[in-house]
Structure 1
Amino acid sequence: MELVGKAIKHVTFGRGVITNRTDNILTVDFAGNHKKFLFPDAFSRFISITDEEGQAYVGKILDDISKIKNAEQLEQERLQRMLFLKVAPESQAAFGFMENSRNTVLKSWSVFAGNYLSGYSKGTPKVPTRLKLNSACLLTECPAGCLEEERRIIGAFMVKDDFEGKYCEDGIIPSHETYRILLNDKDGELLFWDYFSSTTRSPRWGRMEMKYFSNLQMKCILNDMQKIITDPLQRETASNFYRYFCKVNRLSTTEEES
């Protein structure tokens, strides 16, 4: 929009007219007294434009700048939370689709922690207290007619980066908007129980929807997932996921990169 010729009002100098605009500098004529102002900064503190069209134009610019600053502030706060986050060694969760529907989970990219099966809280949603912004949710299924040993990994996602499990009273765990992986039939198969020792007894999932497990085990799973994905774009997404997971859990990736 052309601002030259627009009338403005200054808190000290009174009414004036914009006579020139060069990049981010406005020149305003106050009855022969020419002043220069930063654009659009001055409109948030010293000057206002008098017509509605000009007000809408400047207002949108200021609003866009405010949104960018707010987003940058939120990102800084998120990075600070990551920096000072106390990382628990077993803050990852696997889900068995005992109470979840595969279609619902993959459509919403959120997963239900399941209900308590006994005790005072029986029948109410399980509060996923161990899950924080460093947690990943592993999606597994045991197809009808298969043995539990054949339970396979179908996908994973990082929790939303402002998620705090202890406050999740409805048991619904939302995913991060970026860090999501879904394996397909063209990719290789990863069996869930291969990452857990079964020397003492046969694999058994039980009735609970969610199981906690270690950060190091999740690291191994995510590393293997990125290796078996065949689609180049999906593989890059999985690689970024893996690196982000290691970063927020303060785990090294050097052994895989060498």
Structure 2
Amino acid sequence: MNLINKKVTHKRYGMGNIVNHNDSRIEINFASENKQFIFPDVFEKHLTLHDKSVANSLEEMLQKKAMKRKEQEWKKEQERELQRKKQELRLEYEKLMKNHKLHPESQMVFWCDTEELGSSFSEWKVFSGLIKSGNNKGKPNKPSRLHQNSAVLLTEIDSSRPEQDRRILGVYMVNENFIGKLCEDGYIPAHSKYRLQLTEEESDQMLFWKYYVNEKFPNKMTWNTGKYRYFENSWMAQILQDIVSLKSDPKERELAQEFFEHFCKMNQLTEEELPKANGALMRI
């Protein structure tokens, strides 16, 4: 748009001619002196073009710029709203962390079927399932006891075998920032480091009922219903300790040992005070 020599009227300086302009500045010669202004912003309130056709083209430019400015302001507002929500979540998270009381049974064991086994280890997460009754029917179960001190145990049993032969396949700490009370989708992701998958030979030596017992029925080994159940922190420590002793590869053994030490620290347990495994299998 060529505006050189176009006549204008300024609210304060009166009539003048445009002598120079670019994409951001415009220079106008008035009777007494030349003045520079921001282009095209000055035309919004202070400056009027005499040439109507050029003025219409300039008005379109101003409208497009105004729309772009509004879009930028909307994006900034959206960003501020996002930051505000992140801040609220962070404060809620810090509050939960500050007020968190260590639950003695904040570990979770899963019964994995054939379909779940592959995804559990490839994606390193499990799904807590859906609520089957009540007002929240159909919504994901919220693993409310799980916190940063929690680990998830993955188990399976061949349909042709008795329940007492249930094997441990792997274990992982929950994600570093995971809080069960805030989990809305039911997925429990693994820690970036502390995750272990056992070999077939190792799993055969890690029977779940060696560690787990229903104190109401100490001699019974029945799962009954549900995909998961909570169990004692000390039992998970026993399992991790035994996994360490199973590992022959130096790197895997080192990771298992670090996992065990991290778990004990997070659950305020000491190796020296850890009781021997006394699950239902040990009481037969």
TM-score by length of structure 1 reads 0.63
Letter in 1 for 2:131: Y
Counterpart of 1:148 (choices 159, 163, 166) is 163
Residue of structure 1 in register with 2:134 after alignment = 119
**Structure 1: 4+ residue segments shifted above 6 A:** 78-84
Looking at structure 1, the residues matched to 234 and 249 of structure 2 have their Cα atoms a distance apart, in angstroms, of 26
Q: Does 1:194 align with 2:210?
A: yes
1:160 maps onto 2:160 in alignment? no
Higher CA-based Rg: 2
Does residue 189 of structure 2 align to residue 182 of structure 1? no
The residue number in structure 2 matching 1:225 is 243
Instruction: Kindly state the Cα deviation for residue 139 of structure 1 after the two structures are TM-superposed.
Output: 0.6
- Cα 1:177–1:80 change in 2 (3 A) is farther
CA shift, 1:91, in A, is 0.6
Give % identity.
Answer: 39
Q: How far has the Cα of 1:254 moved from its partner?
A: 3.2
CA distance in 1, matches of 2:151, 2:244: 15
Q: Deviations over 1:212-237 (max 9, x none)?
A: 01111111111111111222211111
Are the equivalent residues in 1 in contact too, given 2:147–2:174 (CA < 8 A)? yes
Which has the higher mean CA deviation after the structures are superposed, 82-91 or 154-163? 82-91
Query: Cα offset for 1:183?
Result: 0.7
The answer to whether the aligner puts 1:235 opposite 2:253 as a matched pair is yes
2:230 is paired with a residue whose SS is: strand
Aligned positions of 1:15-54 closer than 5 A: none
1:37: which partner in 2? none
Indicate the RMSD between aligned Cα atoms, in angstroms: 2.6
> Highest relative contact order (Cα 8 Å, sep 6+), 1 or 2?
1
Q: 1:251 and 2:269 equivalent? A: yes
C-alpha distance in 2 between matches for 1:100 and 1:220: 28
Q: Mark the CA change 1:236 to 1:101 in structure 2 (over 3 Å): closer, same or farther.
A: same
* Counterpart in the other structure of 1:107: 122
Q: SS at 1:220's partner residue?
A: helix
Distance 1:227 1:80 in 2: 38
Secondary structure in 2 aligned to 1:101?
A: helix
**In the alignment, does 2:126 pair up with 1:131?**
no
- Which residue identity lines up with residue 214 of structure 1 in the other structure? E
**Do the aligned residues in 2 keep the contact of 1:112 with 1:171 (CA within 8 Å)?**
yes
SS at structure 2 position matched to 1:236: helix
Do 1:82 and 1:248's aligned partners in 2 also have CA atoms closer than 8 Å? no
SS of equivalent to 1:254: coil
**Alpha-carbon separation, structure 2, partners of 1:241 and 1:148:** 28
2:210 partner amino acid: D
Contact 1:98 1:209 in 2 (8 A): no
Which amino acid in the other structure matches residue 259 of structure 2?
A: F
Q: Which residue of 2 aligns with 1:206?
A: 224
Kindly report which structure 2 residues correspond to 1:73-112, keeping only aligned pairs within 5 A, or say none.
85-98=100-113, 101-112=116-127
What letter matches 2:157 in structure 1? C
Contact 1:100-1:111 within 8 A present in 2 as well: no
Matches of 1:100 and 1:117, distance apart in 2: 21
Alpha-carbon distance between aligned partners in 2 of 1:135 and 1:220, rounded to the nearest angstrom: 14
Gaps of 5+ in 1: 1-77
User: Structure 2 CA distance, aligned partners of 1:123 and 1:99?
Assistant: 23
Distance between the aligned counterparts of 1:251 and 1:200, measured in 2?
Answer: 24
Q: Relative to structure 2, which stretch is displaced further, 131-140 or 189-198?
A: 189-198
**Counterpart residue number, 1:216:** 234
Confirm or deny: 8 A CA contact 1:149 1:203 kept in the other structure: yes
